[in-house]
Amino acid sequence: MTTIASVSNTDAYYLLHEGTQYQSYQFLGAHFEERDGCKGVNFAVWAPNAKEVNVSGSFNGWDGSHHAMAMNEGIWTLFIPELEEGTLYKYEIVTMDGDRYLKSDPYAFHSEVRPETASIVTSLEHYEWQDGVWQENNSSNQHLQQPLLIYEVHLGSWKRKEDGSFYSYVDFADELIDYVLERGYTHIELMPLAEHPLDSSWGYQVTGYYSVTSRFGSPKDFMYFVDQCHQKGLGVIMDWVPAHFCKDVHGLSRFDGTHLYEYADSRKGENPTWGTYIFDYGRPEVVSFLISNALFWLDMYHLDGLRIDAVYSLLTLNFERPEAECIRNEQGGEENLEGIAFLQKLNAVVFARYPDVLMIAEDSSSYPGVTTPVAYGGLGFNYKWNLAYTWHTLEYMKKNQTERSGQEDRLTQSLLGIRDENYVLPYSHDEMDPPTKSLLGKMSGEDNWQRFANLRALYTYTMGHPGKKLLFMGNEFGQMDDWDSEGSLEWELLQFEEHQHFAEFVKQMNHFYIAEKALWELDFEQNGLTSLNADDKEDGLVILLRKSKTNNEQLIIINNFKPETHEGYRLGVEEPGRYQEVFNSDKPEFGGSGMTNANMLETQEWSCQGNPYSIMVNIPPLAGVIFKYIPSEG
């Protein structure tokens, strides 16, 4: 059972102001206490520049004058007896200028369902976790050498009830978990869960960093969901948003009448593209707030990882800023030195407490060392989304087959940098957001058969390419239209044979990936990959050799990105033995043409493509075929 420990105010306040208080949620916010035999709630909020702070709520008719707080070291506190769980409250802030307004609690554990904005007195104690086996089995810190196959989900639009209302966390536990596991995924990644006022922001403009969104139920309902995931063998990753926050008046913006959480200089403190405020990473209390929040989700909800959104915007002072408005740091560069220091501190603290957790950077920059440990000068993440891979592969796949000749380097240039970072290869929600079209909608082709074949070929290539994998919901059965975040996935498509075939292809491909060590054990080692004729300008073929750690398992992945077939194609190989076809995206059960290699292939002492031996293979059109090496006996 996870508990919130009692802390000394003197020590806690000191560490908060030093920027080293990493569990500030244990004393800030609303906490049940007993004083002199009287049970009640202690409220505490950081608002050093306020003239007056009161607690206003459903218990006093929203008249804060009855419950004035006292300040010590910038922290306002008040114990109110006899309050019960579920009590609604806000902080009534009176600024030095005499303005008066209501603010939600930055550390609230629960909030009203939007559009209402009050915080709710809530205890996170006394949930009895049953995931001990999961926690014990996931403490090896060997995930770089393990399969990682992530299903990205926006809970609000995965599936809705017939009346259009949301599923609950309990509903998702009953339906979503088994669906994801049946399809072979190792982890589910949930788009931002922290409370947010606007559905269409998808959760990326947060008002309640410590409050799991009430759209789908209570905090303990979400604990139940995570617990069920773990008991059934599924890891849970959350999108986390420390790069910016929305300007809604009840949130963090100008919290005590001053720029408390955001930079005061609007050039640093505002993101004009997103219309949001940027955290002041140089303020110790803000650093404590954010790092405590990261640990909070790991501590209290047992999450297995955080995907950190918009890392590039933390690294530079001039993210999407017009050149005429660019600013410099004290060293004359464009780097946000405080943002970089925050990320390094974040990862150092998180890994010191949770060495096995996943810290994944969504970073579109070329900043070096994102997954290099902090001790060696890096940012300290253990994974980075390879967005360049996504962009280049999709640009290639959009091209008509007649335009692809000589363009294969769009696919293969990523092979040159597999050791630069520890990469996740993502086909995320950004590739489904209108008006970009779904993945299937991006595929070129003269008809639906070619479009599906192209997507199967792309998926097979991605499975063979070094790096962990992520796929956004709906792409596993070939959603046709853009993703509608205010509706539901197009589940009705599964009544059609071509979508049934495609869903079966993705399911079998995922399970094949999990079973084959050669596809993930040496993802970030140069000796785990060899490119065989990897840039054929005429045939449109990209051929990879993947190996396991012991070299006992070898797979040849042949990818054909043109509609022509290749019967009796001679392929050079390194060692003598036999090769067996073990996966083929062109199988009829996947919707393919059925061109396969049914017989075991024996190597011949016929040098080809720089290798001493070769085999003769049949390569179907617009397809990926995988062969497994079986060494010669003796």
C-alpha torsion sign, points 198, 202, 205, 211: positive
Q: What would the pLDDT profile of 323-352 be if each residue is shown by its tens digit?
A: 888 899 999 889 999 999 999 999 999 999
Whether 128 sits among the annotated catalytic residues: the reply is: no
- Write the CATH number for 86: 2.60.40.10
Whether 199 sits among the annotated catalytic residues: the reply is: no
- Considering the domain architecture, whether residues 52 and 163 belong to the same structural domain is answered as no
- Considering the domain architecture, whether residues 233 and 265 belong to the same structural domain is answered as yes
**3-state SS assignment for residue 92:** strand
What pLDDT, on a 0 to 100 scale, did the predictor assign at position 78? 97
Separation between Cα atoms, residue 22 and residue 6, nearest integer Å: 14
Residues 6+ apart with CB under 8 A from 262: 245, 252, 253, 254, 269, 270, 277, 278, 279, 280
Number of structural domains found in the chain: 3
What pLDDT, on a 0 to 100 scale, did the predictor assign at position 146? 94
The percent of residues in the chain predicted with pLDDT above 70, rounded, is 97
Q: What is the DSSP letter of 361?
A: E
What pLDDT, on a 0 to 100 scale, did the predictor assign at position 364? 93
Write down the residue that tokens 């509706």 correspond to: 487
Domain assignment of residue 427, yes or no: yes
Domain assignment of residue 4, yes or no: no
Separation between Cα atoms, residue 474 and residue 491, nearest integer Å: 8
Separation between Cα atoms, residue 203 and residue 140, nearest integer Å: 32
pLDDT tops 90 at residue 1: no
Q: What would the pLDDT profile of 227-282 be if each residue is shown by its tens digit?
A: 999 999 999 999 999 999 999 999 999 999 999 999 999 889 888 888 999 999 99
- Of 304, 362, 516, 586, which is the active-site residue? 362
User: What crossing angle do the helices spanning 169-182 and 219-231 adopt, rounded to 10°?
Assistant: 20
CB neighbours of residue 83 within 10 Å: 21
Helices (H), 447-496: 448-464
- Considering the domain architecture, whether residues 410 and 272 belong to the same structural domain is answered as yes
- Considering the domain architecture, whether residues 82 and 213 belong to the same structural domain is answered as no
Last residue of a domain, one of 472, 502, 519: 519
Last residue of a domain, one of 500, 519, 538: 519
Domain assignment of residue 1, yes or no: no
Domain assignment of residue 163, yes or no: yes
Which structural domain, as residue segments, surrounds residue 446? 146-519
Q: What would the pLDDT profile of 215-227 be if each residue is shown by its tens digit?
A: 999 999 999 999 9
Separation between Cα atoms, residue 48 and residue 26, nearest integer Å: 19
- Considering the domain architecture, whether residues 171 and 285 belong to the same structural domain is answered as yes
Q: What would the pLDDT profile of 155-194 be if each residue is shown by its tens digit?
A: 999 999 999 999 999 999 999 999 999 999 999 999 999 9
Say if residue 552 is exposed, middle or buried (CB neighbours under 10 Å; 0-12, 13-18, 19+).
Answer: exposed
Q: What is the mean pLDDT of residues 596-617?
A: 91
Tokens of 144: 């770089």
Separation between Cα atoms, residue 20 and residue 13, nearest integer Å: 10
Mean of the per-residue pLDDT values of the chain: 93
What pLDDT, on a 0 to 100 scale, did the predictor assign at position 405? 79
- Considering the domain architecture, whether residues 300 and 410 belong to the same structural domain is answered as yes
- Considering the domain architecture, whether residues 427 and 574 belong to the same structural domain is answered as no
- Considering the domain architecture, whether residues 548 and 515 belong to the same structural domain is answered as no
The reply to whether omega before 242 is within 30° of 0 (cis) is no
Domain assignment of residue 14, yes or no: yes
- Write the CATH number for 536: 2.60.40.1180
Q: What is the mean pLDDT of residues 612-620?
A: 95
Last residue of a domain, one of 498, 519, 540: 519
- Of 285, 309, 338, 421, which is the active-site residue? 309
CA atoms within a 13 Å half-sphere pointing along the CA-CB vector of 555? 30
Domain assignment of residue 544, yes or no: yes
- Considering the domain architecture, whether residues 13 and 105 belong to the same structural domain is answered as yes
Q: What would the pLDDT profile of 557-582 be if each residue is shown by its tens digit?
A: 999 999 999 999 999 998 899 999 99
- Considering the domain architecture, whether residues 461 and 562 belong to the same structural domain is answered as no
